[in-house]
Amino acid sequence: MAKKVLEHFYHEGLMPREMCCPRRQEYRDALELCETAERELKEHLTPEFAGLLEDYKANLIRISALENETHFVQGMALGIRMTSEAFILEEEKTEE
């Protein structure tokens, strides 16, 4: 299956079945620590550096989105290969 087809599934074709954010308490705790640290850091930054921090965060979000897309495509491709191999192995067993 072409990568473009899997990318289409990611962007338009498949509806997510669950939230992408982990629901574990560990995730919420880490998120809260990050927000607290960011708030404290911003108190000490000049407006110029605060703008740089926002640019940095925006780029991290974009990187994370690209990584999520790649992981989705690779996971779908792996799932398709595994499924096809299962059917191929099933056919070989029935022919014997």
Say if residues 11 and 68 touch (Cβ distance below 8 Å).
Answer: no
Instruction: Write out pLDDT tens, residues 37-46.
Output: 999 999 999 9
| pLDDT tens digits, one per residue of 14-57 | 655 555 677 889 999 999 999 999 999 999 999 999 999 999 99
CA dihedral over 85, 86, 88, 93, signed as positive or negative:
positive
